[in-house]
Structure 1
Amino acid sequence: MSSPVSQESTRRRLTQQQAETVTRLTDAAVDVLNAEGFDGLTVRSVAKIAGVAPATAYTYFSSKSHLVAEVFWRRLSAGVLEPDPGAPRSERVAQVLREVALVVAGEGQLGGAVTVALLGSDPDVEHLRVRIGAFIRRRLAAALEEDPENPGPLLDALEMIYSGGLVYAGMGHMTYEQTSERLVAAAHLLMEK
């Protein structure tokens, strides 16, 4: 059974068959990334691995950045759970930050590709970037018991910390596992104030 995210697309709602095609394309994108890196990734090469006509692939993804951003969005929405309401506030925040940082951990070249892709100017990437940011904000706001539409300074600071940490890791300066623990440590320091 498909999750609601697998039935979505940046461009339209998907039928079951279309959702399966998009899943094959996103899975193939990770395979191509691991073999060729972001520079070697093309929508055409992903389509070939997925067994999909290139024209069909382009109906779903406007660019390789759009495709990589979609991979990240799907993994993020599946991998970052609602914070445990029974846990202390600092542990709820730590849970969210760890899960965000670890979404691409152990995924070869995906993390660096996500960093490059999300910084692009493709309108479909911009749409996903907004969706991703809003999703993470909602998770952090839930952990802090704040209104995501009216964030306080702590939520703003946590957003700046995680986005900087993920860019730093995406540039290869540290692993996503190391980033996860540093994000949690930084959050604890902020929350002690």
Structure 2
Amino acid sequence: MEPVRRILDGRRADTVARLLDAALEEVRAVDYGDLTVRSVAKRAEVSPATAYTYFSSKEHLISSVAWRKMQDLTASFADGASLQKLVRGITDVFAQEPELSRACTTALLADDPEVARLRDQMSAEVTRAFSGALSELSPTARASVEMAFVGGMVMAGQGYLTFDQIADRLAALVKQLRPATAARTRKR
């Protein structure tokens, strides 16, 4: 999917960074329902028209904040980092930013082409990061762990479990999948 809005270099990149920083400040200060692209633009000291040049909606803006945090985090992990370390790193971000977590739970489900593009990028990044940690599992088993992770993030974002519980539950799932994978490998 070709992105509708492109983030460019130089002054434009600085404007986007200011908007993303302002969005994080705004989501900490107001309920997500009260957050608007206009209020973020005001906080960033740019015009609403400028903000809409880069972000199609508040959902796109908040999803972009989450994407930036995920990129920063996953870039800090070496290939082959343990699943526990990866998951705890990601979940710690959201545990430390409960307002962002609640906003992302709603924003990432939006029917907006830009949000869909970011969801796809986040999914690809999770797949890339998890592939090294789960290399001994079959592709189907890896996909199951990734799906469980995403489901766990949604459940934690809605308050049904804590972010700390996600890593422990995924570790238990992987433990169950590893013997099954090893047994299939021995039978071949």
Q: Shorter chain as normaliser: what TM range?
A: 0.7 to 0.9
Matched, 1:186 2:173: yes
Q: How many pairs are equivalent?
A: 177
Describe how 1:99-178 pairs up with structure 2 within 5 A. 99-145=89-135, 152-178=139-165
Aligned counterparts of 1:167 and 1:177: Cα–Cα separation in 2: 13
Aligned counterparts of 2:64 and 2:122: Cα–Cα separation in 1: 10
Residues 1:25 and 1:146: Cα distance change in structure 2 (over 3 Å): farther
What does the per-residue CA deviation read over 1:79-128, in whole Å, with 9 as the maximum and x for residues that have no partner? 1244454x6xxxx2222222232232211310111111111110000000
Q: Which amino acid aligns with 2:112?
A: D
Where 1:104 maps in the other structure, the secondary structure is helix
Residues 1:18 and 1:157: Cα distance change in structure 2 (over 3 Å): same
Unaligned runs of at least 5 residues, structure 2: 181-188
TM-score (norm 2): 0.84
Paired position in structure 2 for 1:28: 22
Let me know the Cα RMSD of the aligned residues: 2.2
Deviation, 1:178, is 3.2
Unaligned runs of at least 5 residues, structure 1: 1-8
Aligned counterparts of 2:131 and 2:54: Cα–Cα separation in 1: 32
Paired position in structure 2 for 1:58: 52
Aligned counterparts of 1:170 and 1:78: Cα–Cα separation in 2: 20
Aligned counterparts of 1:38 and 1:184: Cα–Cα separation in 2: 32
Deviation, 1:154, is 1.4
What does the per-residue CA deviation read over 1:47-95, in whole Å, with 9 as the maximum and x for residues that have no partner? 001111110000000000000100000000111244454x6xxxx2222
Aligned counterparts of 2:89 and 2:169: Cα–Cα separation in 1: 13
Paired position in structure 1 for 2:183: none
- Return the match for 2:37 from 40, 43, 57: 43
Residues 1:192 and 1:28: Cα distance change in structure 2 (over 3 Å): farther
Q: Which has the larger radius of gyration?
A: 2
What does the per-residue CA deviation read over 1:1-49, in whole Å, with 9 as the maximum and x for residues that have no partner? xxxxxxxx87224112111111111111111112212101100000001
- Kindly indicate which of the two structures has a greater share of residues assigned to helix: 2
